[in-house]
Structure 1
Amino acid sequence: MASQREVLIAAALFIFALISHSEGIMGGREAAPHSRPYMASIQVPEGNNLKHECGGFVIAAQWVMTAVHCLPTGPNGRKVVLGVHSLSEAEETKQTFDILELHNHPDYRTYNYDNDIALIKLDRPFNISEAVKTVEYLREGGTNPGTDAEVDTAGWGALSNLGERPDKLKEVSIEVFNPARCGRSDYFGRKFTTNMMCAHKVCPNPCDQPHIKEDSCDGDSGGPLLYNGVAVGITSNGGKKCGQIKKPGIYTIISHYTQWIDNIMGAEPTPPPDQSA
């Protein structure tokens, strides 16, 4: 029979394996530096420094899209940093901005994160570079990914439920989950709405770590979910722990908010297609 010391050592090795296996978000990988130039790090003051709190993504010259639950009570001194790969290194590509305006969706619901979409207007336009560019987002009338479609996301969120955070941007490919299943009582029940999609990737069988799956996690909130290079969702919410089989990551469906986005940004609405032909 194994001694108590041997059991403790085995448990420690198992926990270490879980952490080392999760090389990105959860189960992802480090992104190539500045390969996702639209990524934003929303940072909160901590003493004389800034600390990453949430993600976001650049959609126009002075605008960043994120999640309401990242800034529910206002900017409160937060900064937006673009051109980031390493959070700690003094990269010449970094551009830091104050938040000039914050627009949280008026119908956001704290109890289930419905309508979890926000727009940040930066205090000035950014300088376009190889490290800082906009990303296209899906508008009303576009086709959202269906069940089992491969999508991807990125962020500086936790590597595991132990809270360890990466220094460099991580990315992960996941799959859209059946929305009917996400609405089941043993998943999210009535908290899951038609404004949401859910996605994750379960470790296939045979699997050396059957409880590990690829997923977004704490600190990834506000970042984009992309389908064929187009932002279709905003990382919103999931279970209290990341990587749970019945609590896939939840993403706000961006195309449901085209009119609201246009109204906030002052854009001309896209005219409907000509039906006379």
Structure 2
Amino acid sequence: MFAHFNLAILTVLLILHDQVHTGEIIGGHETVPHSRPYMVLLQQNKANGHSGHCGGFLLNENFVLTAAHCHAETYKIFLGLHNYHDMNGVQHLHVEKAFPHDDYDANTFENDIMVLKLKSKAEFNDKVKSIALADHGDGSLPQSCVVSGWGRTKEGSHMSLKLLEANVTLTDDERCAMEMFYCSKGETGPGKGDSGGPLVCGDGKAYGVVSTSSSPTPSASSIHRYTKIPTYKVWINSIINAISNINNER
């Protein structure tokens, strides 16, 4: 499914290396082009010279939210992207500073959330917009949830050239709740290639950040975990407000 592109940066982007606990959209379908204008494709440039990718989403014109395990030396952000064959209007931005959660645990993936401050502002238009974050609500599980991304569509395949999405149903799992995750089960959903993308539910707000997928046994259904955004909303806002105040004082 790979195609050759004139842009060198995309050539690098499409040469993917296997990554543990990154997400893919399995059992999904192509999104309506630019119907999810908050979506971000995040290129990771790592210290060992390798590159990879994660998903993410726009909080406002200056900040992106993604997973802490997507941390890298440097990043390139793609906004307004749907199909690699059509780069018209796609914005290429860089990251000024990354803020992974201080209590992120690389072994358990607890607190798997990270804020990225962009070096330059995103230009909002019909293809690029932010998404609102969910509040705590009444404690019930969100309904009618969707995950989206450009990840691999099956094990061993290349990343999708088009943005895909899949419907997922959250499960009432006590362990997930204790670890501050939402969870879904089954083969449909994220697994490898789209970590950091949003879990968007019925009211159109982002409820979770795609974190990890695992199977207790080879024959068991996959368990997909999403970092609960309402739990971290105060933390997210504290970073945005602190950086905004610094910039206002300059």
State the match for 1:85 in structure 2. Answer: 82
Per-residue deviation at 1:142? 2.6
Report the equivalent of 1:120: 116
Query: How do 1:105-144 and structure 2 match up within 5 A?
Result: 105-139=101-135, 141-143=136-138
Higher relative contact order (CA 8 A, sep 6+): 2
Question: What is aligned with 2:20?
Answer: none
Any idea what the Cα deviations from partners look like across 1:82-124, whole Å, max 9, x if unmatched?
10102x3342221111101100000001111000010001111
After superposition, the Cα gap between the structure-2 partners of 1:167 and 1:221, relative to the gap in structure 1 and judged at 3 Å, is same
Deviations 1:200-239 (A, max 9, x none): 4x4xxxxxxxxxx312121110000011111000000011
Q: 1:175 aligns with which of 169, 175, 179?
A: 169
1:34 to partner: Cα distance: 0.7
Moved over 6 A (4+): none
Identity of aligned residues (%): 29
Deviation, structure 1 residue 261: 0.9
For residues 248-259 of structure 1, what are the structure 2 equivalents within 5 Å?
248-259=223-234
- 2:147 corresponds in structure 1 to 153
Take 1:69 and 1:196, find their aligned partners in 2: how far apart are those partners? Answer: 15
Partner of 1:274: none
Letter in 2 for 1:225: L
Q: CA deviation at 1:51?
A: 6.5
Shift of 1:247: 2.8
Shift of residue 64 of structure 1? Answer: 0.4
Greater Cα radius of gyration, structure 1 or 2: 1
TM-score normalised to the size of structure 2? 0.78
Correspondence 1:56 to 2:56:
yes
- Letter of the 2:148 partner, please give it: A
* Number of equivalences: 214
1:143 Cα deviation after fit = 4.3
CA distance in 2, matches of 1:26, 1:216: 6
- Structure 1 residue ranges without an equivalent (≥5): 1-23, 203-212, 268-277
In structure 1, how many angstroms separate the alpha carbons of the residues matched to 2:226 and 2:34? 23
User: What is the distance in 2 between the residues matched to 1:172 and 1:33?
Assistant: 15
1:68 is matched with which residue?
A: 68
Q: Note if contact 1:145-1:227 (Cα within 8 Å) is conserved in structure 2.
A: no
Distance 1:251 1:32 in 2: 24
Amino acid at match of 1:63: F
Counterpart secondary structure, 2:211:
strand
Match of 2:182 in 1: 197
CA contact (8 A) 1:145 1:176 kept: no
Change (3 A) 1:128 1:145: farther
CA distance in 1 between counterparts of 2:165 and 2:36 reads 9
Flag structure 2 segments of 5+ consecutive residues without an equivalent.
1-23, 243-250
1:223 and 2:197 aligned = yes
Q: For residues 114 and 129 of structure 1, do their structure 2 counterparts lie closer, same or farther at Cα, with a shift above 3 Å needed?
A: same
1:165 positional shift: 1.7
Gap change, CA 1:65 and 1:244, over 3 Å in 2: farther
Aligned residue for 1:60, secondary structure, equals: coil
Contact 1:234 1:253 in 2 (8 A): yes
Separation in structure 2 between the aligned mates of residue 166 and residue 51 of structure 1, nearest angstrom: 17
Alignment partners' CA distance in 2, 1:236 and 1:77: 20
Q: 2:45 and 2:86 mapped to 1: Cα distance? A: 17
| Alignment CA distance shift 1:105-1:45 (3 Å) | closer
Contact 1:108/1:114 (<8 A) preserved: yes
